[in-house]
């Protein structure tokens, strides 16, 4: 079966660092993606991992361990505009994207 | 470069009716996929089209159908609407085999079934 787990909600303070975890069990693996979705808006692409390790992109970093079926998204120097839902998604060999339930992050002043 | 365009943005229907939603992908993108998003279930995959062929299908009843035209534009149809079909329907396009093949989403069509 296909299963992706993420925490439902997280809260952090402006300027802090937050780590959003994602665990997955899918039929085949062809990349892990993180998307950001602000309320009432379309999801937008944040990061992509296909090999183990850390990918850094400005204030955002994403880590992947394929053997553990585990990824995390690290957000540094949090800003109020980072308040959004963060979606973890795995693409399988059939090019299907399986999305997790999303983590709603609230950044407090 | 124009993004993914979905129409209509909002619509209200009653139970038993049918609805057609439209999606125009980013120019050059041949893969178009559809997702249903609800607060309780998150993003659920409906189907994916590539070069006018349905390549993958999610676990939805046959009331949900779609098609893709030669210009890559896609439509999805839901017949005999039920209250539980109320959701945000998102369309996404991708280049697939280039770069990361990430999905580019439209703003969505918010369907309310009364």
pLDDT, tens digit, 9 for 90 and up, residues A56-89? 999 999 999 999 999 999 999 999 999 999 999 9
Q: Rg of chain A over CA atoms, in angstroms?
A: 13
Whether B44 and B112 have beta carbons less than 8 Å apart is answered as no
A1 pLDDT tier (thresholds 50, 70, 90): low
Residues paired with B61 in a beta bridge = none
CB contact under 8 A, A99 and B43: yes
pLDDT in tens, A17-52: 999 999 999 888 989 999 999 998 999 999 999 999
Closest residue of chain B to A50, computed from CA coordinates: B100
The pLDDT of residue B9 is above 80: yes
Q: How far is A83 from chain B (nearest CA, A)?
A: 17
Q: Which residues contact A72 (CB under 8 A, 6 or more apart)?
A: A19, A20, A21, A22, A62, A63
Q: Is B43 helix (H, G, I), strand (E, B) or coil?
A: strand
pLDDT value at residue A97: 87
How far apart, in whole angstroms, are the C-alpha atoms of residue B97 and residue A17? 34
Tokens of A90: 């795995």
pLDDT value at residue A82: 98
Q: Which residues contact B96 (CB under 8 A, 6 or more apart)?
A: A95, B30, B31, B50
How far apart, in whole angstroms, are the C-alpha atoms of residue B13 and residue B2? 29
Cis amide bond preceding B8, omega within 30: yes
pLDDT value at residue B99: 58
Whether A84 and A37 have beta carbons less than 8 Å apart is answered as yes
pLDDT value at residue B41: 79
Across A26-30, B2-6, B31-35, B76-80, least confident range: A26-30
Which residues of A are less than 8 Å from B48 in CB distance? 95-96
How far apart, in whole angstroms, are the C-alpha atoms of residue A16 and residue A71? 20
Q: How many CB contacts within 8 angstroms connect chain A with chain B?
A: 53
Higher model confidence: residue B92 or residue B40?
B92
Interface contact B75, partner A, CB < 8 A: no
State the average pLDDT over residues B76-87: 97
B85 backbone dihedrals φ, ψ, rounded to 5°: -80, -5
B98 pLDDT tier (thresholds 50, 70, 90): low
pLDDT value at residue B89: 97
Considering chain B, what percentage of its residues have pLDDT values greater than 70? 96
pLDDT value at residue A101: 93
CB contact under 8 A, B42 and A102: yes
Q: Is A80 helix (H, G, I), strand (E, B) or coil?
A: helix
Interface contact B31, partner A, CB < 8 A: yes
């Amino acid at each position: 079966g296909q299963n992706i787990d993420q925490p439902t909600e997280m809260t952090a303070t402006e300027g802090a660092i937050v780590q959003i975890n994602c665990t997955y069990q899918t039929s085949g693996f062809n990349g892990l993606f993180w998307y950001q979705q602000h309320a009432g808006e379309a999801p937008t692409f944040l990061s992509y991992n296909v090999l183990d390790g850390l990918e850094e992109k400005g204030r955002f970093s994403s880590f992947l361990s394929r053997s553990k079926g585990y990824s995390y998204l690290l957000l540094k120097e949090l800003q109020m505009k980072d308040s959004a839902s963060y979606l973890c998604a795995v693409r399988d060999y059939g090019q299907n994207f399986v999305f997790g339930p999303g983590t709603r992050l609230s950044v407090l002043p | 470069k124009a993004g993914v365009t979905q129409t209509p943005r909002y619509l209200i229907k009653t139970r038993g009716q049918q609805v057609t939603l439209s999606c125009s992908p980013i120019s050059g993108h041949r893969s178009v996929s559809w997702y249903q998003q609800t607060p309780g279930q998150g993003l659920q995959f409906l189907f994916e089209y590539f070069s006018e062929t349905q390549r993958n299908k999610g676990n939805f009843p046959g009331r949900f159908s779609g098609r893709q035209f030669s210009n890559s534009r896609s439509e999805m149809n839901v017949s005999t609407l039920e209250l539980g079909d109320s959701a945000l329907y998102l369309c996404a396009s991708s280049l697939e085999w280039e770069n990361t093949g990430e999905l580019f989403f439209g703003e969505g069509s918010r369907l309310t079934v009364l």
